[in-house]
């Protein structure tokens, strides 16, 4: 049973424009959310996170928004750069620190 869902398997965006990645979750016990970025032949690396007590967290070009009532979060990348081309995983955890991952969204930034 997939508790974290990324319904868009891929996203193509022009360099300089905004990339918006979406993620939905079903478990209301999740209270911490993370985004990971993965390049081919490498392990996922942590990108940004947000606690359920916040609705927005910003780090440079990356902003994560959390809508708890809708059980939805999104990652905005502005402006998108060619180096942002990767697979992005959404993840969520409750009080056991165990992460549940989405299936990933492949982002391609076009020059």
Closest CB to another protein among residues 96, 111: 96
Which CB atom, from 6 or from 63, has the smaller least distance to another protein?
6
Distance CA 60, CA 27 (A): 29
46, 32 contact by CB (below 8 A):
no
Binding track, positions 10-39, relative to another protein; x by CB under 8 A: ----------------------x-x-x---
> With CB under 8 A, what is the number of residues at the site for another protein?
22
The reply on whether position 44 binds another protein by CB under 8 A is: yes
Token pair 């947000």 in the structure block, residue: 50
Task: Identify the bridge partners of residue 77 per DSSP, sorted by sequence position.
Answer: 19, 62
The phi-psi region of residue 30 (left if phi > 0; otherwise alpha if psi is between -120 and 50; otherwise beta) is beta
Question: Which residues in the 53-72 window bind another protein by CB under 8 A?
Answer: none
In whole angstroms, what is the distance from residue 71 CA to residue 48 CA? 18
Q: By CB under 8 A, is residue 41 in contact with another protein? A: yes
Binding site for another protein (CB under 8 A): 6, 32, 34, 36, 41-46, 49, 89, 93, 96-104
């Amino acid at each position: 049973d997939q508790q974290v869902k990324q319904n868009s398997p891929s996203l193509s965006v022009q360099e300089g424009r905004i990339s918006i990645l979406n993620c939905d979750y079903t478990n209301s016990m999740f209270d911490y959310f993370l985004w990971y970025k993965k390049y081919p032949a490498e392990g996922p690396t942590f990108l940004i996170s947000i606690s359920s007590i916040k609705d927005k967290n910003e780090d440079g070009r990356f902003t994560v928004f959390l809508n708890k009532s809708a059980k939805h979060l999104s990652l905005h990348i502005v402006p998108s750069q060619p180096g942002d081309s990767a697979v992005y995983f959404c993840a969520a955890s409750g009080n056991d620190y165990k992460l549940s991952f989405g299936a990933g969204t492949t982002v391609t930034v076009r020059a």
